[in-house]
Amino acid sequence: MLSVSNLDVRYGQFRAVQGVSMNIDQGDIVSLIGANGAGKSTLLRAIAGALPIHSGRVSFKQHDVTTTSSSARVKQGLSLVPEGRRLFADMTVEENLLLGTTVKRSGDWSIERIFATFPNLVKRRHAKTGNLSGGEQQATAIGRALMSNPDCLILDEVSLGLSPLVVDQVYASIDSLKDAGTTILLVEQDLERAIRFSHRAICMLEGKIVLDKLTSDTNKEEITHAYFGLQQSKHQEASQ
Ligand SMILES: Nc1ncnc2c1ncn2[C@@H]1O[C@H](COP(=O)(O)OP(=O)(O)OP(=O)(O)O)[C@@H](O)[C@H]1O
All structural domains of the chain with their residue ranges: 2-239
Q: Looking at the predicted structure, is the pLDDT value of residue 234 above 70?
A: no
Q: For residue 157, give Cα distances in angstroms to 69, 92, 194.
A: 23, 23, 12
Asked if residue 20 has its Cβ within 6 Å of ligand 1, the reply is no
Asked if residue 41 has its Cβ within 6 Å of ligand 1, the reply is yes
- Residue 42 CA: nearest ligand 1 atom is 18
Asked if residue 33 has its Cβ within 6 Å of ligand 1, the reply is no
Tens digits of per-residue pLDDT, 52-102? 999 999 999 999 999 999 999 999 999 999 887 788 989 999 999 999 888
- Residue 83 CA: nearest ligand 1 atom is 27
Q: Looking at the predicted structure, is the pLDDT value of residue 185 above 60?
A: yes
Look up the CATH number of domain 2-239.
3.40.50.300
Q: Looking at the predicted structure, is the pLDDT value of residue 238 above 60?
A: no
| Confidence (pLDDT) at 180 | 78
Looking at per-residue confidence, does 129 or 233 come out higher?
A: 129
Q: Looking at the predicted structure, is the pLDDT value of residue 110 above 50?
A: yes
Contact 35, 46 (CB under 8 A): no
DSSP H or E segment with residue 114 = helix 111-117
CA of 16 to the centre of ligand 1 (A): 7
| Confidence (pLDDT) at 231 | 58
Contact 145, 81 (CB under 8 A): yes
Q: Give the rounded percent of residues in the chain with a pLDDT score beyond 70.
A: 96
- The Cα–Cα gap between 39 and 54 comes to 14
Asked if residue 39 has its Cβ within 6 Å of ligand 1, the reply is yes
Q: What is the mean pLDDT of the chain?
A: 90
- Residue 45 CA: nearest ligand 1 atom is 18
Contact 24, 18 (CB under 8 A): no
